[in-house]
Amino acid sequence: MMTPDRAPRLGLDAVHHIRVPRAVVSDVHDQLRAAGRHHREAVGFWAGVQENAVFHVHAGYVPKQLAGEMDGGSLVMVDGDELFRMNVWLHEHRLTLIAQVHSHPADAYHSDTDEEYPVMSRVGGLSIVVPDYAGADFDLVSAAVYRLGRERDWRALSVEDTIALIEIVEGTR
Ligand SMILES: [Zn+2]
């Protein structure tokens, strides 16, 4: 993921606007929904290119994953090999992650596990939780959106802040 030949990039916390094509949103969301039909949580990612304060999402990525249960709650895991594969893919396509998106069986919120073990770990990155195993179409109002702060604390964004930050672009892009 290192690009020593380039000037240092601004961090993701400099991003004030994220443009994500509807097709990418739907691609990831459909895969979350497919897992949900089997009562499994699932996680996917939005990847793209940062241009100063604007982040252009170009692709979705859904790694191989394992869904399971722990302490009565469900969770989804991506092992190290799969994370490595994703990082290679990102590097080859010159993309970086801006958001992880995962489903919950019912309510959308950040669980303790979500707080402690995010894949998205860069300051300024987003973690988006969708309710009801992604059964309904994705929308920014019913999703719970968190952003990683400089103190490595996940901050819940209000619906207003979410809508100001994320723009779903209709059409192919
Ligand atoms: Zn969760």
**Mean pLDDT of all residues belonging to the chain:** 92
Residue where the block lists tokens 């988006």: 128
Question: How far apart are alpha carbons 125 and 74 in whole angstroms?
Answer: 23
Q: How far is the CA of 40 from the centre of ligand 1 (A)?
A: 11
Q: How far is the CA of 33 from the centre of ligand 1 (A)?
A: 15
pLDDT at 3 over 80: no
Question: How far apart are alpha carbons 157 and 140 in whole angstroms?
Answer: 11
Q: How far is the CA of 70 from the centre of ligand 1 (A)?
A: 12
In tens, the pLDDT along 107-163 reads 999 998 899 888 999 999 999 999 999 999 999 999 999 999 999 999 999 999 999
pTM beyond 0.85: yes
- pLDDT confidence of residue 5: 53
Q: How far is the CA of 110 from the centre of ligand 1 (A)?
A: 6
Q: How confident is the model at residue 15 (pLDDT cuts 50, 70, 90)?
A: very high
Q: How confident is the model at residue 28 (pLDDT cuts 50, 70, 90)?
A: very high
Q: What is the DSSP letter of 134?
A: G
CB distance 144 to 134 below 8 Å: no
Which residues contact residue 29 at a Cβ distance below 8 angstroms, ignoring those fewer than 6 apart? 44, 101, 130, 134, 137, 138
- pLDDT confidence of residue 63: 96
Q: How far is the CA of 41 from the centre of ligand 1 (A)?
A: 8
In tens, the pLDDT along 85-110 reads 999 999 999 999 999 999 999 999 99
* Tokens linked to 47: 């990847």
- pLDDT confidence of residue 73: 72
pLDDT at 55 over 90: yes
Q: How far is the CA of 15 from the centre of ligand 1 (A)?
A: 24
Question: How far apart are alpha carbons 142 and 145 in whole angstroms?
Answer: 9
- pLDDT confidence of residue 82: 96
Q: How far is the CA of 102 from the centre of ligand 1 (A)?
A: 7
* Tokens linked to 138: 């994705």
- pLDDT confidence of residue 70: 72
Question: Which of 11, 26, 28, 45 shows the shortest CA–CA distance to 169?
Answer: 26
- pLDDT confidence of residue 171: 73
Q: How far is the CA of 65 from the centre of ligand 1 (A)?
A: 14
- pLDDT confidence of residue 123: 96
CB distance 156 to 110 below 8 Å: yes
First to last CA, the chain: 25
Q: How far is the CA of 75 from the centre of ligand 1 (A)?
A: 6
CB distance 78 to 61 below 8 Å: no
| C-beta neighbour count of 78 within 10 angstroms | 19
> What are residue 17's DSSP bridge partners?
54
Q: How far is the CA of 129 from the centre of ligand 1 (A)?
A: 7
